[in-house]
Amino acid sequence: MAITERDPGQGEPKRFLVECEGCSFECATTGREEAERIGDAHRGETGHDLVALELPPSM
Ligand SMILES: [Zn+2]
């Protein structure tokens, strides 16, 4: 899974939007590991490819 990070390796956990390229699945989550976990789980269930985009800090 491709994970886009603007500024790796700093500070608090980042928020990611995990999006599926094969269906309408998407899930916002916190932390790169959690984004990978969600992506791996969906890919394991469906065989779809996913991407995780870093979200801007919450307001
Ligand atoms: Zn999917």
- SS3 of 13-47: the string is CCEEEEEECCCCCEEEEECHHHHHHHHHHHHHHHC
Per-residue pLDDT tens for 24-48? 999 999 999 999 999 999 999 999 9
**Against a cut of 0.75, is the pTM above it?**
yes
Q: Does 12 have pLDDT greater than 90?
A: no
CA of 50 to the centre of ligand 1 (A): 7
Centre of ligand 1 from the C-alpha of residue 36, in Å: 14
Distance, CA of 4 to CA of 39 (rounded, Å): 13
Reference 51, options 59, 10, 43; nearest CA is 43
Q: Among candidates 10, 53, 11, which has minimal Cα distance to 35?
A: 53
Question: What is the structure's pLDDT at 3?
Answer: 81
For residue 30, report the distance from its CA to the centre of ligand 1, in Å: 20
- pLDDT > 90 fraction of the chain, expressed in percent and rounded: 69
Tell me the average pLDDT of the chain: 89
